[in-house]
Structure 1
Amino acid sequence: MPTMSGGWQELRELIDAFLKERFDTKAEKLATDDPKYQALVEQFQRENWLQDAARRVSQLQVVTHSLKPIHPDAKGSNLYAPPESLAKHQGVGSHVLPADFDGDVVGNAAALDVYKFLKLECDGKSLLERVLEGDTELEHALSDIPEQSQAWMNAFAGITEPRGEHASHTLAKQVYWMTGEDAADDDDFHLLAPLYATSLAHQVFQTLSHDRFSDEAKATRRAKREGDFAEQNVHDYPDLAVQKMGGTKPQNISQLNSERVGNNYLLASLPPSWNVRDIRPPLKVESVLDDPGIFGWRKEVRGLVGDLKRFLDTKPNTDMHTRDLRDDYTAMILDELALFTMQMHGLPPGWSADENCRLAIEEAFWLDPGRARDDREFRDARNSTNWPDEIRRRFANWLNAALGGKLPLGDVEFRHWHKELARDATQQRLLDSDRRWMETLMDDLESLDDWQEEEANE
């Protein structure tokens, strides 16, 4: 049964106001006796404009799932699948969108005024929604001629329909999804063509932007910093990334992408945090790299160091086999060092500020980087110190001492262990990650300083 909500007179007034606003904008600098002015008068007569809009609407498609974010030159199908048409499940997807979700529009940017027309709202419902519902009041508002109104309604309703047959494209992504049990049987696979959930992405963008930049969010974060009560919760999105789509012409991707200036948020997808229930901060010690020290006393480390020491005690020939085996043991010890580092990083930041912590400051820089977030003196000292080289020096001294006794280890071996740690790929990834985190922290703190300065000046 078609909906009867909203009087046709009110809808016609809404349409006429839209056309007048657009006419006034285009005719603002034209004299009334200018032929171009008269042409605009003719163009923006309701019947004339609607006839032209019904023709141009075929150049647009309202979608919830689009292809161009996958590749800007792909030319396959886009889909309009509103939440109520999708299966419900526990995962987050387009089916969880609210009833007033934002549909996206793709196609000829020159015809976007037609979409703006269909987005007009009356009594909380857009003209597009009314078109799709077959609203008889809107049909009456469009024209006094029923046949004409019906033709326009049909044309406008086509904006949600795919153009032609469903098709993928060579630049689109495709995935073979196994639906049967025989991986050697082609019939046991479906070929999927993933699309970008553009309406869902826009909802995520709006939510995160509100949580990060709205006046309420700013007031809540200020209250948290000052230890005051706030009615709103603080929402934080660590390690947030932004994907830019469309370059300098985001409108070539879609209308919603243009509204976001091409920005699309990517939430962090990271492995689980280390389970640190049995990991305790190294308090009341001056170094974790003493002999044997906290690190050296770990069962796995003791086993590896013991095996390497027994092998070297045999005074093996200095050939390729010896070097390879020595390097294998060294690599496994370095893996244990990386594991130890990550476990220390999993402790609550700032543990090295405890009065019982006696670690050398370079080891605090190494094992408690999170303290730099809130401790300015610690942060400045960390940024001005070549602490990684000091850690390499301490590690080389520790391994020399751990392997000592019968073995005459000295400067040559020290330089070897030092070099091995410096060029170890896992250690480099940890340092690179630390560097990027510190750069982001400094940028965030600089932005906070700018914001506080602006607040002070208001």
Structure 2
Amino acid sequence: MNNISWQDIRKIIVDFLQQRLANNSSYKSETAKLEKAKELGDQVAVNEAQQKLAELAKRFDFETWMEDAATRRISWISMGTNNSKSIHSSSLGDNINYSTQSQPIEQLYVSSATPTTLPLDCSGNAAALDVFSLLNQFVIEDVTFLQLIVNDHPAVLAALSDDKEKALLYLTNFKKAIFNDFDNPKASELNKQLYWPNSEETYLSQQDNNYRLLIPLHPSSLCHLVYQKVQSRFSDENKKAREQRRIKDIKHQSYFSFHHLAVVKLGGSNPQGVSQLTSNQGGRNFLLPSMPPIFEKSQFPSISKQQETIFNNALQYFCRFGFRLLFDMVEAPKNIVEERDDRKDAFAVILSLLLKFARHIQTTQPAGWSRDYSLDFHEKLWLDPQRAQLENEEDFKKQYEQGDWQQSLEKSFANWVQNALKEKFKNIKQQFADPEFSEWRREFSAAVKASQRKREGIF
């Protein structure tokens, strides 16, 4: 970009004007008349056609066209990335150029701030849209005249006119249009308007100026990028990649595919009345499917910051198959051998799922997560062992290494099982007393020792 000279920019402008002249319908008509008059030898008609061609050529003379474009017609159009007429085609509100503002550091959702650069859109009088076309001419590959103006390229000023005062005026007017330097910013009653409270304190207050008036504009530049992305599905490269996916023994390439698209048309039969980019899209804007995300529910129960123990109904439901065996054992006719075996089977299932849950918490949560939770301290020591390695956790580390918390876990586990049995069998709940409580503790203690022997890292 540093190698661009004012002559390079001037050449782009002159070539653009010559192309505009060559494509002008009146110029084509008069050229045809001139050729016909020459064939017929009609000198009067030849002179008349040549005079009209000279007048047309003068309109596209560099200095003449630039003065008209940069002082008069530039005010007929409004440039920006967010368009007012897309909301209502009769709106006379100003467009806004977001790309000239600083972008946020963190982006939590897709917006006009997401792309690195946005194409500028334009709306207004069709008789001035050629000015916008000039600004979008490429001076070199991937660098437009407009980008040079935005970046204050030193070669721009001299390229606009041989008269330095005129060149400065032209550049000022171009920048004014590009950077939305409004003397009198305009909104329109045809646009949507939202009153937004300035703060929670003023929401219900009787003060004046409690609200800001927000006027949403259509993000036409962002929608144009989406449109181009969706249209890339019809590119030769994408078609080839899709066709090759059925061919074996070749390297497959990725390709774009968009499902459940909808289309909204803006501008009716005259999308140019909305904006230039809308016109380029034939008025079509793609709507992506707006459906809630599908979350995969975790198989493990969650832990809220308010709960004081993991041994609750949610954990019982997670271990429901083991509890079902335990309940069946209680209801079955008494047989010492079968009862003992059924009980062990039930606790094998319950403890297996409980230790699986504990391991899940230990390995998926960051060290120190339990600081903000209300769990019993012995459960924090069990489920957040890496917290002992953090700074300022000497007391936590000391208590963890002492190991007394394991006995507290045994009691919590035994209470949990005991309460589940009493709730299930209310008519015989007095039968679940200290001997049964001690048995549940022994089952848990045995599971702890078995896990430690296997070096599973749970205790």
Question: Shorter chain as normaliser: what TM range?
Answer: 0.5 to 0.7
Listed as ranges, the gaps of 5+ residues in structure 2 are 35-45, 300-459
- 1:131 is displaced (CA, Å) by 2.7
One-letter amino acid of the counterpart of residue 266, structure 2: M
Segment drifting more, 138-147 vs 193-202: 138-147
Tell me the alpha carbon deviations over residues 387-429 of structure 1, each in whole angstroms, 9 at most, x when there is no partner.
Answer: xxxxxxxxxxxxxxxxxxxxxxxxxxxxxxxxxxxxxxxxxxx
- 1:155 is displaced (CA, Å) by 2.0
Listed as ranges, the gaps of 5+ residues in structure 1 are 279-458
* Residue number in structure 1 paired with 2:59: 43
* Residue number in structure 1 paired with 2:139: 122
* Residue number in structure 1 paired with 2:102: 85
Distance of 2:293 and 2:159 partners within structure 1: 58
Equivalent residue for 1:59, pick from 73, 76, 79: 76
* Residue number in structure 1 paired with 2:282: 261
One-letter amino acid of the counterpart of residue 196, structure 1: H
- 1:229 is displaced (CA, Å) by 4.6
Give the TM-score of the pair, scaled to structure 2.
Answer: 0.55
Distance of 1:195 and 1:228 partners within structure 2: 50
Identical positions, percent: 32
Q: 1:229 to 1:245 in 2, by over 3 A?
A: farther
Distance of 1:64 and 1:98 partners within structure 2: 13
| Contact 1:64–1:82 under 8 Å retained in 2 | yes
One-letter amino acid of the counterpart of residue 157, structure 1: K
Distance of 1:97 and 1:189 partners within structure 2: 31
One-letter amino acid of the counterpart of residue 76, structure 2: Q
- 1:136 is displaced (CA, Å) by 3.3
Q: 1:150 to 1:274 in 2, by over 3 A?
A: closer
- Residue 178 of structure 2 is aligned to residue 140 of structure 1: no
Q: What RMSD, in angstroms, separates the aligned Cα atoms of the two structures? A: 2.5
Q: 1:5 to 1:224 in 2, by over 3 A?
A: same
* Residue number in structure 2 paired with 1:199: 221
- 1:213 is displaced (CA, Å) by 1.1
Q: 1:268 to 1:53 in 2, by over 3 A?
A: same
Tell me the alpha carbon deviations over residues 287-342 of structure 1, each in whole angstroms, 9 at most, x when there is no partner.
Answer: xxxxxxxxxxxxxxxxxxxxxxxxxxxxxxxxxxxxxxxxxxxxxxxxxxxxxxxx
- 1:190 is displaced (CA, Å) by 2.7
One-letter amino acid of the counterpart of residue 5, structure 2: G
Equivalent residue for 1:157, pick from 142, 166, 175: 175
One-letter amino acid of the counterpart of residue 265, structure 2: K
| Contact 1:83–1:94 under 8 Å retained in 2 | no
Equivalent residue for 2:236, pick from 190, 198, 215: 215
Equivalent residue for 2:122, pick from 95, 98, 105: 105
- 1:222 is displaced (CA, Å) by 1.6
- 1:65-76 → structure 2 map (5 Å cutoff): 65-76=82-93
Q: Secondary structure in 1 aligned to 2:119? A: coil
| Contact 1:4–1:137 under 8 Å retained in 2 | no
Equivalent residue for 2:187, pick from 135, 158, 168: 168
- 1:179 is displaced (CA, Å) by 4.0
- 1:188 is displaced (CA, Å) by 4.7
One-letter amino acid of the counterpart of residue 237, structure 1: F
* Residue number in structure 1 paired with 2:266: 245
- Residue 30 of structure 2 is aligned to residue 8 of structure 1: no
- 1:264 is displaced (CA, Å) by 0.4
Q: Secondary structure in 2 aligned to 1:94? A: coil
Q: Secondary structure in 1 aligned to 2:98? A: coil
- 1:133 is displaced (CA, Å) by 3.7
Q: 1:88 to 1:201 in 2, by over 3 A?
A: farther
| Contact 1:239–1:268 under 8 Å retained in 2 | yes
Distance of 2:158 and 2:252 partners within structure 1: 48
One-letter amino acid of the counterpart of residue 172, structure 1: N
Segment drifting more, 81-90 vs 214-223: 81-90
| Contact 2:244–2:252 under 8 Å retained in 1 | no
Q: 1:199 to 1:88 in 2, by over 3 A?
A: farther
Q: 1:132 to 1:272 in 2, by over 3 A?
A: closer
| Contact 2:245–2:252 under 8 Å retained in 1 | no
Q: 1:266 to 1:79 in 2, by over 3 A?
A: same
One-letter amino acid of the counterpart of residue 147, structure 1: E
One-letter amino acid of the counterpart of residue 174, structure 1: Q
Segment drifting more, 7-16 vs 180-189: 180-189
Give the TM-score of the pair, scaled to structure 1.
Answer: 0.55
| Contact 1:58–1:159 under 8 Å retained in 2 | yes
| Contact 1:244–1:262 under 8 Å retained in 2 | yes
Distance of 1:72 and 1:37 partners within structure 2: 37
Distance of 1:229 and 1:83 partners within structure 2: 46
Q: Secondary structure in 1 aligned to 2:129? A: helix
- 1:116 is displaced (CA, Å) by 1.0
Distance of 1:109 and 1:191 partners within structure 2: 31
How many matched pairs? 274
- 1:18 is displaced (CA, Å) by 1.3
Distance of 1:228 and 1:220 partners within structure 2: 14
- 1:175-186 → structure 2 map (5 Å cutoff): 175-182=194-201, 183-185=203-205
Q: Of the two, which has the highest radius of gyration?
A: 2
One-letter amino acid of the counterpart of residue 216, structure 1: E
One-letter amino acid of the counterpart of residue 158, structure 2: H
One-letter amino acid of the counterpart of residue 77, structure 2: L
* Residue number in structure 2 paired with 1:326: none
- 1:4 is displaced (CA, Å) by 5.7
| Contact 1:8–1:137 under 8 Å retained in 2 | yes
Segment drifting more, 186-195 vs 119-128: 186-195
* Residue number in structure 1 paired with 2:310: none
Distance of 2:185 and 2:177 partners within structure 1: 15
